[in-house]
Chain A
């Protein structure tokens, strides 16, 4: 057992953690977070993506003890119960989700990407957007609506800046 302090969505707790426990499992069971999903548990599908100190990481390939003292954010921190984040809204209007199981992973992968593009004033091509989600698998949507949602989230904000 290793003493580990984690901050998940702003809530800090110190726990005794077995070194082999995956970050995904600890977040889900100890912090009662349901927005971290396991799709493969071997680092291919991206479902379990969370932010560790602001950077998208696979929580199924990370041990909780490696994150001692770190800040972890899950999809719950993006736009709250009403899913108000611009990317979440764009996923809704462009039908970027069906069963929703992969969705938190996509959102956590894409939120910093969208932010960066907007900050740089860049509108990426569809190919670039597709490349940005190459580490996430969605079995329902065929990615079409996800690509459209990213395009919309970025272009809406770029237009907003101009106005």
Chain B
């Protein structure tokens, strides 16, 4: 009978959302058009650090059309606050419009509104911001230099926070080490660049006293809560809608001052207000990422066993702490995940968040893990070289093989396929490794193979955030599943889908539990009015927590359907199965009732229900992540070819072996992996947010901020191993971010392999490779 009920989980279902996206009818934030709307343009600081003497808006008085202008003096104490509640933290507060001091180029200083976006732009250009320059903090060294004054009032230094994490006996590890390997690694500042910039539209309707805010966000409920608290409005009177969202990647996974301000402006002007960010603003003033410096020291036994690891981690987090993951997010995450997939029990890390006069740092796909894994996996290759072992052998010797595994910091890893993935990739790469060896002495063309082996903690639950004491506070995802009288289903989902295909994958999960066709499941998301409260889509939680919540809520409805069917078939609930749109007796499928009929009875012809049963087919479930999350694992491998005379690097091959537990939809999983990988390739080779010594951003357009284009990429090969996790009702682990984590270390290891030099910094631009290959050309580097 199962044949009539093919499992939807695991099927390569084409996405339901695609038709509206392909046809052009999808409505993104700039497609929200309201009558009588005012358009907002920000006058932003052009100075990295300065005391505001005057914001002169007098030129607007005779501009010849109506304008509205607001500065820091007009908005009371409205601000963005994002505090980690620990004694070491120095707090920053960013007024929604700078009041006394500007602290980075791009910081909003004045809000200028007009009835047309061209006119508001014209008007914003006429606002004159008079600033006295203050000393600039532009490098990590400057941030740690006590002679340079802190950028925030009342601060003791330019360090947001410095803390430690440790476990085991590092002294003993050091004492027993036959080898001590110490290296310093650096990853550049980047930004996430969704193809659609940010944007906010707000409208207050006095009739029902409802404030509606449309925002291109990954976390509508958190935007609602912040607006409610900051503007002192009841949360029940605020509706936040994320329309179609053109990519997020974590960039849109923060609450932004602009969201709060646009809401406030709509209340203040009693007109709809619309702000659409332009690309320059997006590059310099949304959210930046990475910008890590790590020094690691590994202690290794004579036999090549890792005994312990010491780490010093600095991150330049920019001018302000961001909500809800705070300035402590990146360094803390790097320190937490540095032990990785290897078995050792002594570790000590010092990590700090340094302030600078740059755009604030926030979450971007992988959050600290691309940098942590870069350092960890470069170090593994360096150790292997130093002790004369093959890098894959060395990893296999130290890889964790027994699960559950309690790591040095007390985190428990659920089962994975760490060793199998390594072995599988070795098989796949055998020919490339041989080919690389052949070119070892070439002065023309060198081939190199490099890999990165890593785990990713996904779907972390509330305890993880409680430990961190950051304002995100919790991590559960809720789903409300509602069957209609015709047997179709609506899911109100606490996640927000911005490319992940959740309208399809969540429908697949519900379809399996309810025995219906996924096409009959309609997933609504991104609207606080129709979705239950949840933290939104970030941290690789969609599949496991969204999927788990949908599964468990659907099971509650399935149970009720079975009870109604049992009553009418004069059977027992336990003997009823659901599948193919029918509720049937498991041992005698010829006896069945269509689910559509049962739904109608539950909601319309309720006289047919078993005695005492309450009408309705609605269920909700909130699923929190496991205490320590669930750990996905992967190995990424890059094969590069370097033209020594020019320094040109060609990525010949990129291979992924990954394990994210149960795969809901292979089409979507492969897409997430490949998309992530290409962003990681961007980190490795191209993307760099550059500032000059005065903290002026230099990469302010797509002509300067370079991202991967199709011609420079190979097809990305993806292989799967499926180790379902016992910690999740459907066995799924998170996978949205993993793709972006491995490429930089894999490529750096490949370049190091090809050229026979250490590669400890990204991006590996043409210039960088040219310098790294100088010795082969017989030049001084």
Contacts and interface: CB of A to CB of B under 8 A. Distances in A.
Given A38-B30, A39-B196, A99-B245, A142 B716 contact: yes
B711 A134 contact: yes
Q: Which among A74, A100, A102 has the highest number of chain B CB atoms within 10 Å? A: A100
A138 interface: yes
Given A35-B25, A38-B30, A41-B279, A130 B711 contact: yes
A33 interface: yes
Contact of A142 (B18, B247, B674): B674
Interface stretch (A51-59, A61-69, A81-89): A81-89
B707 A137 contact: yes
Contact of A97 (B22, B708, B716): B22
B738 to A, nearest CB: 13
Contacts of A95: 15, 667-668, 670-671
Contacts of A44: 701-703
A80 B20 CA distance: 10
A21 interface: yes
Interface in B491-520: 498-501
B330 interface: no
B767 interface: no
Interface in A90-108: 91-93, 95, 97-104, 107
A144 interface: yes
A108 B15 CA distance: 21
A139 B14 contact: no
A79 interface: yes
A160 B711 CA distance: 29
Contacts of A101: 28, 194-196, 246-247
A154 interface: no
Contacts of A114: none
A90 to B, nearest CB: 10
Contacts of B30: 28, 38
Interface string B6-39: 0000000011011101111111101101000000
B755 interface: no
A127 interface: yes
A18 interface: yes
Contacts of B667: 95
B196 A143 contact: no
A119 interface: no
A98 B28 contact: no
A32 B701 CA distance: 28
Which of A80, A127, A143 has the most B CB atoms < 10 Å from its CB?
A143
Give the dominant DSSP class at B's interface: loop
A83 B327 CA distance: 44
A104 B500 CA distance: 18
B675 A140 contact: yes
A37 to B, nearest CB: 7
Contacts of A127: 711
Interface in A115-142: 126-127, 129-131, 133-134, 136-142
Contacts of A138: 195
Nearest to B244: A100
A23 to B, nearest CB: 14
A153 B716 CA distance: 20
Interface in A20-47: 20-21, 28-29, 33-35, 37-42, 44-45, 47
Contacts of B711: 127, 130-131, 134
A18 B118 CA distance: 10
A141 B249 CA distance: 12
Contact of A35 (B23, B498, B716): B23
Contact of B24 (A76, A92, A141): A76
Interface string B709-745: 1110101100000000000000000000000000000
B245 A143 contact: no
Nearest to A98: B499
Interface string B268-309: 000000000011000000000000000000000000000000
A156 to B, nearest CB: 15
A21 B711 CA distance: 33
Contacts of B195: 37, 39, 45, 47, 99, 101-102, 137-140
A103 B196 CA distance: 12
Contacts of A38: 30
B133 to A, nearest CB: 29
A152 to B, nearest CB: 13
B678 interface: yes
B193 interface: yes
B677 interface: yes
B402 to A, nearest CB: 35
Nearest to B713: A143
B713 A130 contact: yes
A81 B499 CA distance: 20
A75 interface: yes
Given A42-B703, A99-B498, A141 B675 contact: yes
B679 interface: yes
Nearest to B676: A142
Contacts of A91: 18, 22
A40 B244 CA distance: 18
Given A42-B279, A81-B25, A98-B500, A145 B671 contact: yes
A40 B701 contact: yes
A146 interface: yes
Contacts of A143: 678, 710, 713
B278 A83 contact: no
Nearest to A133: B710
Given A44-B703, A83-B23, 5 more contacts: A28-B31, A34-B24, A37-B28, A37-B195, A99-B196
15 contacts: A21-B118, A44-B701, A75-B22, A81-B19, A82-B23, A83-B23, A88-B22, A95-B670, A101-B196, A103-B21, A131-B711, A136-B710, A140-B675, A144-B715, A145-B671
Interface of B: 14-15, 17-19, 21-28, 30-31, 33, 118, 193-196, 244-249, 278-279, 498-501, 667-668, 670-671, 674-679, 701-703, 707-711, 713, 715-716
The 3 closest A-B pairs by CB, nearest first: A35-B24, A100-B21, A101-B246
